[in-house]
A and B are shown apart, each in its own frame.
Chain A
């Protein structure tokens, strides 16, 4: 490369005046490091430019110096500290953001926990209410059974075992007759399931005559079924009758019979 030509190409002026391209600038700085003539040419142009511009100086308004100096003082000796301060709010922002995020996540957690707990609470309340109902029902049933049991142990109770006829040899029922108030209770030990249009009917037998003691409504969870009262009886029998019962028992359809 011809250094002289390079110096006279106008690149020195481009560089100094700041209109050189980035590539030209880098090349120029590299060449300066190796060629004192180029540095000399640069310095020479800088000086003549400086002299010219100093001659052309226009004084700025006087108030500007104070204004600038005041700003220098406030910006001034704390340049580096200011850079640290500039960073600090960013960190602070991050802490607040992190806190906010943590709070939000925490809130979500609490929300989920509350929702979950509420769900469980609702479940527990529902179950408790079911259990209470069941308990109440069982208590009622138990009370009824106790009532039935105490009935069987009552003084003045007479018991008749009604045994199966050839219609149903395995059938067995028990009659509890309260001789004081004449109440009749039936305990079904074993009776075949009647056809849907048929129903069992209880009869008392007194002096060879049948007395209707009512239709047997089979009840779950009860030992005894209360039947109609009867003042006196020598025997009891159960026949299978059409639904609603008959005036006179169908003797061929007798299932159990027994004396008091």
Chain B
């Protein structure tokens, strides 16, 4: 099954590069749900999620030439496009005015947008199995897109510690995924 999937993925990439509409239709049917789920975990709001998903697929279509198979799977590449588009959206003026998303700062204790029971699906559900300190760092870096330096400053944790904790948290995630 594994080899078949790789072949299919290669075939799909080739078709997309030749601007094949049907291949795009297949791509959308196959992956839109997974990407939509990730986008919703970042932006929350449904209508905004629709816009971000649209941006994501248009970008995939336009930038397919830039996809490098040697650096990872097609899904991983698309996942990062979706996540980046979603984080960009949360940082846009219009979005910040219309949502309760708080900028990261030291006086505000409530950094995490992760709340049990509200959006406990996908990776986020797995996050609750992590230690609090780890969960916060994953949330800030993965779902809110802050750099290690920004997190280090905001939480007053040494940069090295931020890196170590994120890595530890991620290796735990991996175990949870398997």
Which residues of A does B touch, CB under 8 Å?
A: 8-14, 16-19, 21, 29, 32, 42-43, 45-54, 56-61, 64-65, 67-69, 71-73, 75-77, 79
Complex contact B34–A10 (CB within 8 A):
no
Residues of A within 8 A of B116 (CB): none
A-B contact pairs, 26 of them (CB 8 A): A18-B79, A18-B84, A21-B163, A43-B72, A47-B73, A48-B174, A50-B75, A52-B177, A53-B122, A56-B123, A57-B37, A59-B32, A60-B32, A60-B33, A60-B36, A60-B50, A64-B54, A68-B57, A68-B58, A69-B21, A69-B24, A69-B25, A72-B24, A72-B61, A73-B21, A76-B21
Interface of chain B, helix or strand or loop or mixed? helix
Q: Decide: B34 and A57 in contact? CB cutoff 8 A.
A: yes
Asked whether B153 is an interface residue with its Cβ less than 8 Å from the other chain, the reply is no
Q: 10 tightest A-B contacts by CB? A: A10-B167, A57-B33, A13-B170, A56-B122, A10-B171, A10-B170, A60-B36, A48-B177, A19-B141, A53-B34
Is B91 in contact with chain A by the CB < 8 A criterion? no
B4 CB–A CB distance under 8 Å: no
Residues B62-117 near A (CB distance < 8 A): 62, 70-73, 75-76, 79-80, 83-84
B 120-135 to A, binary, CB cutoff 8 A, 1 in contact else 0:
0111011000000000
For B169, the chain A residues whose CB sits under 8 A away are: 10
Query: Smallest Cβ distance from A41 to chain B, in angstroms?
Result: 9
B163 to chain A, nearest CB (A): 8
One of B25, B61, B166 near A19 (C-beta < 8 A): B166
Interface residues of B in 156-178 (CB under 8 A from A): 163, 166-171, 173-174, 177-178
Q: In whole angstroms, how far apart are the Cα atoms of A37 and B122 in the complex?
A: 27
- In the bound complex, CA of A36 to CA of B79 (Å): 23
Say whether B171 contacts A8, CB under 8 Å.
yes
Interface residue B38 (Cβ < 8 Å from any Cβ of A) = yes
- Taking the complex as formed, is B136 at the interface, i.e. its CB lies under 8 A from any CB of chain A? no
Whether A53 lies near B142 (C-beta < 8 A) is no
Which B residues lie at the A interface, using CB under 8 A? 19, 21, 24-25, 28-29, 32-34, 36-38, 40, 49-50, 53-54, 57-58, 61-62, 70-73, 75-76, 79-80, 83-84, 121-123, 125-126, 141-142, 147-148, 163, 166-171, 173-174, 177-178
State whether A16 and B72 are in contact (beta carbons under 8 Å apart), knowing that A52-B177, A58-B33 are contacts in the complex.
Answer: yes
Q: Which residues of A are found within 8 Å of B166, using beta-carbon distances?
A: 10, 14, 19
CB contact between B73 and one of A11, A50, A56, A69 (< 8 Å): that residue? A50
Q: Using known A-B contacts A21-B148, A72-B61, determine if residue A60 contacts B53 with beta carbons closer than 8 Å.
A: yes
In the complex, what distance in Å separates the CA atom of A60 from the CA atom of B84? 18
Residue of B53, B71, B163 near A29 (CB, 8 A) is B71
B147 touches A45 (CB 8 A): no
Give B135 Cβ to nearest chain A Cβ, in Å: 14
Minimal Cβ-Cβ distance residue in B for A67? B54
Beta-carbon contact of A59 and B36 below 8 Å:
yes
- Contacting pair B123 A69 (CB below 8 A): no
A17–B167 Cα distance when bound, in Å, is: 11
Tell whether, in the assembled complex, residue B75 and residue A57 are in contact, meaning their CB atoms are under 8 Å apart.
no
Partner of B79, one of A45, A53, A59: A53
A61 to B51, CA, bound (A): 11
Known: A53-B79, A58-B121, A65-B28. A75 touches B37 (CB 8 A): no
Cα of A170 to Cα of B31 in the assembled complex, Å: 132
How many Å lie between the Cα of A19 and that of B166 in the bound state?
Answer: 9
Identify the closest chain A residue to B25 (Cβ): A69
Are A79 and B171 neighbours in the complex by a CB distance under 8 Å?
A: no
Instruction: Please tell me if the beta carbons of A17 and B142 are within 8 angstroms of each other in the complex.
Output: yes
Distance in angstroms between the alpha carbons of A179 and B126 in the assembled complex: 146
A71 touches B54 (CB 8 A): yes
What residues of A have a CB within 8 angstroms of the CB of B79 in the complex? 18, 49, 53
The residues of A that contact B178 with a CB separation of less than 8 Å are 48
A37 to chain B, nearest CB (A): 15
